[in-house]
Amino acid sequence: MNKTISGFSKLTKSEKIDWLTTTYFTNSQSAKDILKQYWNSDKKLQQLHDEFIENTLTNYYLPLGIAPNFLINDKVYAIPMAIEESSVVAAASKAAKFWFDRGGFKTTVIATEKIGQVHFMFKGESSKLEQFFKTLKPKLIESAKPLTKNMEKRGGGILDIQLKNKTRLLNNYYQLHATFETLDAMGANFINSCLEDFAKTLKEEAFDHNLFSSEEKDIQVIMSILSNYVPNCLVRAEVSCKVQELSEKKTTNAEEFAHKFVQAVNIAEVEPYRAVTHNKGIMNGIDAVVLATGNDFRAVEAGVHAYASKNGQYSSLTHAKVENGIFTFWMEIPLALGTVGGLTKLHPLVKWALELLGEPTAKELMQIVAVAGLAQNFAALRSLTTTGIQEGHMKMHLMNILNQFEATHEEKVTLIEHFKTHTVTHSSVVEEIEKLRQ
């Protein structure tokens, strides 16, 4: 059967589903039913979701959970988290509760600078280009005024534009490296519009520049695009307490726990294999809040992992120490987030999540998201250095296994009680289900 099609995007939603289910599925009706059961009964709301992206067939659900009791700079938050992984929300909640009675989380926004670049090729003397740029720079800023005037009224706009010579890396390669302040907007569309205007002005001014040869006038703009690497859009989150205050049921010997915890972080600082998993745990918390608030978690992930490699080797994003009897655990992380634009005013659950957080500014959201990542990492390291990660994780995973085997309500009650005192593994759960059903 021919599985290719022309004009797929022009088909109606029903026509798309009909073609896909009859072409790719043995039971087309069952495949249709699965898609339709996730449609929203509110037609207006469903149309809104259909128009977020192209070729929409249905909605893909993720659980939206809440991690309460986060004390951040003496203000209490309940943090929304959209994620499918078992134990993430529970772990964040436990960390929040742990630190609530120990002063909570302290955060500071260090900087909010965003970056965009015009990448171009110039065949000529770099000194002539540098001289040309001195007169070009004010023209670039002036030309972009229609794009920047509203942002400037609110206190944002273009911070600086630099010419960067990259010919050491690639023949004839230069950049216009621009920095921006976009306030409560993530700013991607604003930045990209400015960059494309810079590129247009660059080509026009070069063509009219008297000191350039005909070859030098022919500047080739390769692309104009923002960067998701934002090392100067940075937030710090930390927790600290006296070492003896770390003591609880899992950590009867607070000094030993603090020592092992710090060593676990030290290992992630020097061992990339460990650092990747260590940082993935941080992103469990960060991505869940970024997604719940309608932000771009792929951009955040890319920028964060680049930052983790900024010193030439991939390393831990978090750090820990014990000094003068005080345990301190902290993280500095780049987060380019927005609370206006994009889905923030369109998606009903995103609006709900932002209202839950008290309608935060972008700076406030940076701090909340960073705390979610730090809390998640603390919870993971606490488990790893005490009981091990699987005890808590597999107990949270128990319900997924029971649902996989379509356990009845009565079976779930019995097995949840059983595994309160037994180790959860996939095989042990299957074994107990089979015993019950015999």
Residue type (1 letter), 42? D
Determine which one of 296, 364, 397, 432 is catalytic: 296
Residue type (1 letter), 215? E
- CB under 8 A, 24+ apart: contacts of 199-207: 199/118, 199/120, 199/224, 200/143, 201/136, 201/139, 201/140, 201/143, 201/144, 202/118, 202/120, 202/136, 202/140, 202/176, 205/132, 205/135, 205/136, 205/139, 206/132
Specify the DSSP element, H or E, that contains 77.
strand 75-82
Cα distance between residue 134 and residue 142, in whole Å: 14
Determine which one of 49, 114, 209, 393 is catalytic: 393
Q: Are 368 and 104 in contact (CB under 8 A)?
A: no
Determine which one of 280, 347, 412, 418 is catalytic: 280
Cα distance between residue 332 and residue 312, in whole Å: 17
Angle in degrees, 0-180, between the axes of helices 389-404 and 409-418, rounded to the nearest 10: 160
Query: Residue 393 catalytic?
Result: yes
Determine which one of 85, 245, 255, 271 is catalytic: 85
Cα distance between residue 334 and residue 268, in whole Å: 19
Query: Residue 245 catalytic?
Result: no
Query: Residue 160 catalytic?
Result: no
Query: Residue 75 catalytic?
Result: no
Catalytic site positions: 85, 280, 296, 393
